[in-house]
Structure 1
Amino acid sequence: MDGMDTVEAVVLVGGKGTRLRPLTLSAPKPMLPTAGVPFLAHLLSRIRAAGVRRVVLGTSYLAETFSAHFGDGADLDLQLTYVVETEPLGTGGGIANVAEHLTAEHVLVFNGDVLAGTDLRAVVETHRKAEADVTLHLVRVPDPRAFGCVPTDETGRVMAFLEKTPNPPTDQINAGCYVFRRQVIDTIPRGRPVSVERETFPGLLASGARIQAYVDSAYWRDMGTPFDLIRGSADLVRGIAPSPALPGPTGEVLVLDGAEIAADAVVDGGSTVGCGARIGPGATVTGSVLFDGAVVGAGARVEAAIVGAGSVVGDGAAVLDCVLGDRVRVGAGCELRGGMRVWPDTVLPDGSVRFSSDA
């Protein structure tokens, strides 16, 4: 198993997902439908495919929804343990909070809202060869100005953790995946918030610890906003982002059980059509996610959008670059544009035109 039998994983899934509202009013962000399954299923399946068997989930917001869906992990050939965080502790504090449940020599740690395609075995192998205390997955991005960056020397050793700057000295950013030696986790203070980037890692560097980097340009997306969720889901459906958990073949559309699509409707761009969803005659759905039971009426257009569970887009309506919560009713001929987020159970009258950010 390439030594992966001595590795456990921690996935931090405790955030409230405020940037993803209204979708996270009823579900934590790692449980939101993404290419046909909860987003977390894609990460867990990649962890299992890398040879890891035991995963500890650090939960908080709506914690019970994780165990209700995944149980003990047997369906994924994993052993899952759930640890509830009673107050926000940050990444470092979240890792420390699950420490007593860890038994392996090395621990893979993941932020639970990142979609990535890196080779997890290669990250662990880099960690072992460097005899590192901590190894970070760093990803190269075209424009690192929106992120803190992480410079390394010629051996791949991390030199610093820099805040956002207009002129970053490197295109390498923290990708939210780490390997810790188990003993290092025990040095993180417990019972209070701790930032790994502002406290843990700088403290380790100052003490002379070895922090190594595994750098690549693999697929990577922070799934923190509804529009990242839309794009990430489409990338999974089209096979641009890899996942063993995709419940169907890759292609232009993923159609789940019980969905109905009219013969002359056009559905493409990596769209997902949820269980029991219906798309009417002459409708167009492009690069969008229809949750279970959603309805798109005849001649309607849905582009780069999420249509929540049980929501209805009326005949001839247009929902473009928008997010509809659950059970929304968009009237016939209504037009929504410009990043609108429509809260659950909202009813929009026929023929109305909305361009605002909320409704």
Structure 2
Amino acid sequence: MSAAPGVDAVVLVGGKGTRLRPLTLSAPKPMLPTAGVPYLSHLFSRIRAAGITHVVLGTSYRAEVFEEYFGDGSAVGLELEYVVEETPLDTGGAIRNVFDRVRAENAVIFNGDILSGADLGALVGTHRSTGADVTLHLQRVDDPSRFGSVPTDSSGRVTAFLEKTPNPPTDQINAGCYVFKRSAIESIPAGRRVSVERETFPGLLEAGAHVHGFVDASYWLDVGTPEAFVRGSADLVRGVAPTSALPGPVGEALLLEGAKVADDASVTDGSTLGAGAEVGAGARISGSVLFDGAVVGEGAVVERSVLGKGARVGAGTVLRGVVLGDGAVVGSGCELLDGARVWPEMTIADGAVRFSSDA
């Protein structure tokens, strides 16, 4: 369902992505290669498919990287504008900070680290048909105790915003996507930090504004951690998560230009091999992301891991749930498990064993 006309998009991409370090030392989180292209390319494909063409990016950390890559947006069929956040403003403050660039009566606001299959046209349609001031995408999840919950009444109006609790009254959580009337954006205090969950949304409810819930159970994933990042990339490659920006066919693996895989090696479970990446004889790559130029030696096993640009893994080494920074080197016969991270350009000696600690 089309969301256009009369709707803009705002994408908030100002975070530093600390949970994904060391990968985000060289690039902002939304620009990390995800199923072969920057994560933002997948989000832009959904925005464009919904008929929205004007997109404002709220940037901060490494702000220049976004414009250097996407420019004016014409290459992806959009008109892009950029607003730099000089000091951290939190989500509400970041939304208010782009107000002057919002032209349409309504704007769909996206957190820049959520992978979602929600029907954007239906979301905007609900917002318009109910006459809401703000409409929230609410996702049903199996374990809502990990999140703040958002109950709604029988008509779909939001009644409260609750903090994390062991026994939440609903399985509906804030999914990080909202539709705001322009007037609701303008009502947010300008020039300071504002939390949408703790200040904006409760304040709107107290003022009698109509805050509506669009409840959904489609694909949804916060890709802000290494574990979720590799899962999201694999889901895009396998066609589980929606995108029209995948640079190749849906399948068990995505190999970019110049990637080489030995005849008896295996690359499965939605793995991506960046341009020029190499996988040696007998190696097994499963559910992982290898950035451009990464090399995996003979007989190595790489599962649910991310290998930064130019990273190297020695023969017979095992990586499970590991992040290697750009240019990192792990010697032969090593075993790195359970969240171990190796920082850019660092070397791990042959035969080392490490568990969930920074190297």
TM-score in same-fold range (> 0.5) = yes
AA in 2 matched with 1:330: V
Q: What is the 5 A alignment of 1:170-189?
A: 170-189=170-189
Residue 228 in structure 1 maps to residue 228 in structure 2:
yes
- Counterpart of 2:331 in structure 1 is 331
Deviation at 1:192, TM superposition (A): 0.1
Q: Is the 8 A contact 1:8 1:55 kept in 2?
A: yes
- Counterpart of 1:101 in structure 2 is 101
Distance 2:160 2:306 in 1: 39
Q: 1:167 to 1:356 in 2, by over 3 A?
A: closer
Q: Is the 8 A contact 2:3 2:52 kept in 1?
A: no
Q: What is the 5 A alignment of 1:310-329?
A: 310-329=310-329
Report Cα offsets for 1:201-244 as digits up to 9, x if no partner: 11111111101111010111111111110111011111111111
Residue 212 in structure 1 maps to residue 215 in structure 2:
no
Distance 2:17 2:311 in 1: 21
- How many residues are paired up? 359
Deviation at 1:356, TM superposition (A): 4.0
5+ residue gaps, structure 1: none
Residue 34 in structure 1 maps to residue 19 in structure 2:
no
Deviation at 1:98, TM superposition (A): 0.6
SS at match of 1:310: coil
Distance 1:330 1:207 in 2: 57
Distance 1:72 1:355 in 2: 44
Q: What is the 5 A alignment of 1:108-123?
A: 108-123=108-123
SS at match of 2:94: helix
Distance 2:37 2:47 in 1: 16
Deviation at 1:321, TM superposition (A): 1.0
Q: Is the 8 A contact 1:328 1:343 kept in 2?
A: yes
AA in 1 matched with 2:347: V
SS at match of 2:197: helix
AA in 2 matched with 1:267: V
Distance 1:264 1:153 in 2: 57
Report Cα offsets for 1:88-139 as digits up to 9, x if no partner: 1011100110101111011000000111110000000000010000000000
Distance 1:200 1:80 in 2: 26
- Counterpart of 2:303 in structure 1 is 303
AA in 1 matched with 2:76: L
Deviation at 1:333, TM superposition (A): 1.0
Q: 1:32 to 1:2 in 2, by over 3 A?
A: closer
TM-score normalised by length of structure 2 = 0.99
Distance 2:131 2:236 in 1: 34
Q: What is the 5 A alignment of 1:1-359?
A: 2=2, 4-359=4-359
Distance 1:345 1:105 in 2: 49
Report Cα offsets for 1:13-54 as digits up to 9, x if no partner: 000111111111111100011100011111111001100000
Deviation at 1:2, TM superposition (A): 4.8
Report Cα offsets for 1:27-83 as digits up to 9, x if no partner: 110001110001111111100110000000000000000000001001110000000
Q: Is the 8 A contact 2:2 2:120 kept in 1?
A: no
Distance 1:260 1:77 in 2: 32
Q: Is the 8 A contact 2:2 2:50 kept in 1?
A: no
SS at match of 1:4: coil
Deviation at 1:329, TM superposition (A): 0.9
Q: Structure 1: which 4+ aligned runs deviate by more than 6 Å?
A: none
Q: Is the 8 A contact 1:12 1:112 kept in 2?
A: yes
Distance 2:152 2:228 in 1: 28
Distance 2:62 2:34 in 1: 18
CA RMSD across the alignment: 0.9
Deviation at 1:299, TM superposition (A): 0.7
Distance 2:349 2:125 in 1: 58
Distance 1:152 1:219 in 2: 21
AA in 2 matched with 1:155: S
Identity rate, percent: 65
Q: Is the 8 A contact 2:41 2:245 kept in 1?
A: yes
SS at match of 1:55: strand
Distance 2:199 2:319 in 1: 44
Deviation at 1:3, TM superposition (A): 5.6
5+ residue gaps, structure 2: none
AA in 2 matched with 1:72: D
SS at match of 2:5: helix
Q: Is the 8 A contact 1:5 1:53 kept in 2?
A: no
AA in 2 matched with 1:84: V
Q: Is the 8 A contact 1:284 1:302 kept in 2?
A: yes
Distance 1:197 1:356 in 2: 32
AA in 1 matched with 2:136: L
Deviation at 1:182, TM superposition (A): 0.8
Q: Is the 8 A contact 1:67 1:82 kept in 2?
A: yes
